[in-house]
Amino acid sequence: MYIVKVLVEHAIYKLDTTYDYLSKYQVLAGCRVHIRFGYQQLVGYVVECQETLFTQKQLEEKNGFKYSFIQDVIDQKPLLNQELQELANYLSKQTLSTRISCLQCMLPPQLKPSTNHSVGIKYQKVVSFVKDIPLKTTKQQEALNYIKEHDLLPIKDYPFSTALLNNIEKQGAIIYKQVEVYRNPYNEHLQQEDYPLTTSQQKVVNQILASFHQFKTFLLYGVTGSGKTEVYLHLSRFVIEQGKTVLMLVPEIALTPMMVSAFKSRFGKSVAILHSKLSAGERYDEYRRIIDDEVKIVVGARSAVFAPLENIGLIIMDEEHDASYKQESPPRYLTSQVARKRGAYHQCPVVLGSATPSLESYSRALKGAYELCILSQRVNQKPLPQIELIDMVEEMKAHHYEVLSRKMKAKIQETIDKNEQVILLLNKRGYSSYVRCLDCDEVLKCPHCDVSLTYHKDTHTMRCHYCDFQVPYQQKCSHCGSTNIKLIGSGTQKIEEYLQNNFINSRVIRYDVDSTRKKQGHHQLLKQFENQEANILIGTQMIAKGLDFENVTFVGVINADLSLNIPDFRANERTFQLLEQVSGRSGRGKKQGTVMIQTYNPDHFVLQCVKNHDYQSFYQKEMEMRKLAKYPPYCYLISILVQGKKEDDVTFCSQQIKEYLVKQLPKAIVLGPANCTIYKMNDIYRKRMTLKITNTTHVYEVLHAMSDYYNKKGRKVNVICDFNPYTTI
Ligand SMILES: Nc1ncnc2c1ncn2[C@@H]1O[C@H](COP(=O)(O)OP(=O)(O)OP(=O)(O)O)[C@@H](O)[C@H]1O
Ligand SMILES: [Zn+2]
């Protein structure tokens, strides 16, 4: 008999201890089982299975509790290999989350431990050759010869009628078979050759391959358009030729279409794609292809870092600075941390690539913790685009109150007149930012959150971007009943309309969360733009990264100050990255590109550094400020969010936690508790403390104890600890 230790996923309680069950047979660690838990039947996850010589009765007498038997085993073989199981333990410690939540985040939704209904395997009817026998007609005979050479194809792929095939089948020379097929999410890719590398690209490839068999982190700092993708492709080719596999990570789904086609067109079927927009069936199939060893390269967003690849020879993280690499629900991990952990396990290089590296990574590279590789020029030796800052205060003085300055308007018209293309960035979706009553000054707010509602013209609704609350738009103030109300501020939808109305021959595509909601939305819109079906692409930060359109010669930023004014210590860094990245979309082909950036702060050092494409000065200056204010990379940050339904409870408990932390961690700096920027979200009150530490000793134990205490049944608040927080709204 065996004692099986099982982790249990419970809908309400956070259970992180294992429970002992009995089994007559051995069950492999990593398999899911059905168990009885109280009155419920639940799915559990086996972490250990040990043989015992005691009987059930003896065990119960010895340990003083009743044992029950596992009901049945769901998986034939473990879903996660040893490496990933250990990784889950590591993550759970590092992020203060339950082991089961770590296991959950590693699996595609259909395979998560809480569900046992799997998406079915898809079958296809194929023709299978049986034997050579004399057939009735020569036509049938010819067909049989053909089938012999081209066995196991789906019926529709044969150049004969179904009737003819049926006839041959009746005579017994062939049979029809059902075979498993994989749903293939991206199958229309042309075969494409690698470009020969430039000298500087080759140098980088050599530098990285010199450490092919060891774990080392490289920071590839290559300006926009310097050909980093080609470096990734060449490295990957080398690695798979050595019989190893490649993990290629991209920040978010918006970027995936171009990276996917680059990899698919070179490596075809040996590439698997993992991201959240695939259908359940597609994701399940891609996952199975990886487990079944049919895949050499996995391209995917954040959670693909857990892809069950064996024998990894290279891990790449493109656009390493991107905030979407931070997971914002439990377990709140940093992708680079997981990638490096896997790199260490497989003893392979980890390449972090970016044109605007995060301060954390760049400072590590300067200290020698990472090895720096540099591509300082664009591929065709072309200079980076010229950037002009447009002072919007001056526009006001000249009584020009439109969203686009006179210069930018002229430049857009000029560009489309030359049959070239324009990309415009406005980091705000929706139509208008908010609605204000001109009589009573009331702004229409979300009833559940501390934010104003945004007007969406396409659906004629007012929507909350935090909780998705929506109401139909009314031409009437909800407070005083006046009809004298005004839509204030501009979002992408409004600019789209403005562009259509104000420019001759403009054909506009809007690219934001709302317009790309459909499954292949991103892919389709970008394709239309690539095929010149539109000449202006207006979008949110989604358009800033990775896009490579050779006919784009003008990039305009409508309001650079939006991200500068966010109350977050990374606001400068984010703004620099966003502006430099979006500028980098201009002039990537043969023609020279230009950029205009509209701002009310043209003298701000971030804008000055962007104007000169000067990452070094930006880095120096921002690092000085971080040092003075004691922010990362000069310390570690941990955010502690206290939330609850009653304001008083939140206030009281926050204070209690603060006292506990100050006492337990005398060397740490504890900021707060302060109300969050959005104090009330979804009817929950929220206060935050920020812990600054330079040394992590004891920190995990102290926080573990605190969060265990508060996150129990019956407590009035709940506490979320976030190591290396990225958003603090
Ligand atoms: N060796 C090469 N020879 C010719 N063309 C190349 C070569 N390498 C890259 N290119 C082309 O240069 C362009 C820019 O390359 P790529 O998109 O990889 O830049 P990048 O470094 O990823 O830039 P970004 O950070 O802005 O996304 C692409 O159109 C690519 O096809
Ligand atoms: Zn809301």
Nearest-CA neighbor of 262 among 274, 253, 271? 271
Q: Contact 566/428 with Cβ under 8 angstroms?
A: no
H helix runs in 72-150, sequence order: 82-95, 99-106, 138-149
What CATH homologous superfamily does 636-723 map to?
Answer: Ribosomal protein S10 (3.30.70.600)
Instruction: Return the axis-axis angle of helices 82-95 and 99-106, rounded to nearest 10°.
Output: 130
Q: What's the pLDDT at 117?
A: 46
Cβ count within 10 A of residue 278: 21
For the domain with range 386-431+490-625, which CATH number is right: 1.20.1080.10, 3.40.50.1820, 3.40.50.300, 3.40.50.10490? 3.40.50.300
CATH topology of domain 2-111: GIY-YIG endonuclease (3.40.1440)
Helices 615-629, 359-367: crossing angle, 10 deg rounding: 100
Distance 250 CA to ligand 1 centre (A): 16
Q: What is the pLDDT of residue 116?
A: 46
Is 446 labelled as part of a ligand binding site? yes
Ligand nearest to the CA of 547: 1
Q: Report DSSP letters for 51-90, one per residue.
A: E-SS-HHHHHHHHSS---B--EE--SS-SS-HHHHHHHHH
Ligand 1 atom, smallest distance to 581 CA: 26
Residue type, 721: C
List CB contacts of 95: < 8 A, sequence separation 6 or more.
Answer: 102, 330, 331, 332, 333, 723
Nearest CA to ligand 1 atom 16: 227
Q: Which amino acid belongs to residue 479? A: H
Query: The whole model's pTM is what?
Result: 0.84
Residue 635 is assigned to a ligand binding site: no
* Contact between 646 and 687 (Cβ < 8 Å): no
Q: Which residue has the tokens 């002072």?
A: 391
Q: 404 φ, ψ to 5°?
A: -105, 135
Mean pLDDT by 10 residues, the chain (729 residues): 86 69 90 84 87 92 89 81 91 87 80 51 75 88 88 82 88 80 57 84 96 95 94 96 96 72 90 80 82 91 93 96 91 96 97 97 97 93 92 89 92 96 91 83 83 85 85 86 85 92 92 76 85 93 85 95 84 95 92 95 96 97 94 93 93 94 93 88 91 89 87 82 84
Q: How far is the CA of 470 from the centre of ligand 2 (A)?
A: 8
**Ligand 1, atom nearest to 224 Cα:** 26
Spatial distance between the Cα atoms of 702 and 692, rounded to a whole number of angstroms: 14
The preferred substitution site among 195, 224, 229, 423 for testing ligand 1, maximizing ligand atoms within 8 Å of CB, is 229
Nearest residue to 132 via CA among 115, 117, 146, 111: 146
- Position 179 scores a pLDDT of 67
Q: Which atom of ligand 1 is nearest to the CA of 546?
A: 27
Cβ < 6 A, ligand 1 pocket: 195, 197-198, 201, 222, 224-230, 355, 379, 546, 548, 584, 588
Instruction: Reduce the DSSP state of residue 631 to 3 states and report it.
Output: coil
Distances (CA, A) of 264 to 96, 312, 354, 389: 38, 19, 22, 39
Phi, psi of 25, deg, nearest 5: -120, 160
Q: What's the pLDDT score for residue 181? A: 61
Report the candidate in 689, 708, 697 with the shortest Cα–Cα distance to residue 639.
Answer: 689
Sign of the four-CA dihedral 74, 79, 84, 86: positive
Residue type, 397: K
> Would the CA dihedral through 339, 341, 347, 350 be positive or negative?
positive
Report the CATH architecture of 199-375. 3-Layer(aba) Sandwich (3.40)
Backbone angles phi, psi at 34, to 5 degrees: -95, 135
Picking from 371, 360, 359, the residue whose alpha carbon sits closest to that of residue 337 is 360
Q: Alpha carbon of 524 to those of 14, 257, 273, 516: distances in Å? A: 42, 9, 17, 9
Q: Ligand 1, closest atom to CA 585?
A: 26
Task: Indicate the DSSP class of residue 483.
Answer: S
Question: Which ligand is nearest to the Cα of residue 232, counting in written order?
Answer: 1
